[in-house]
Amino acid sequence: MTTLKSVYESNIKTWKMLINLVNKWNDKSYDLTDEEWDTIKYYKSFLDVHFNDVSSIKETIIETEKKLLKFN
């Protein structure tokens, strides 16, 4: 079970990072760095599933956090 817990925790961390990047991407006054843009492209499939919608990603985080509570 600890492996699954680690995966959930890692996913949450990644998703929070992606929320930050999507917010930057949507900010027309912010220029993404090459590294940030490469990260967005790397996670394109995940972002497409959520239609680049931060609130949808947040919901996924909340649901995963609920699953994590079962490990405590």
Spatial CA neighbour of 25 closest among 37, 35, 42: 37
Quickly list H helices, 1-72.
2-26, 34-42, 44-49, 54-69
Across 34-38, average pLDDT: 97
> Per-residue pLDDT for 39 more than 90?
yes
CA distance 35 to 25: 13
Domain ranges of the chain: 12-69
pTM of the model: 0.90
Q: What's the whole-number average pLDDT of the chain?
A: 95
- Measured CA angle at 20 (ends 8, 29), to 5 deg: 170
> Per-residue pLDDT for 71 more than 90?
no
pLDDT band at 1; cut points 50, 70, 90: low
Give the max Cα distance, the chain: 44
Percent of the chain with pLDDT over 90: 92
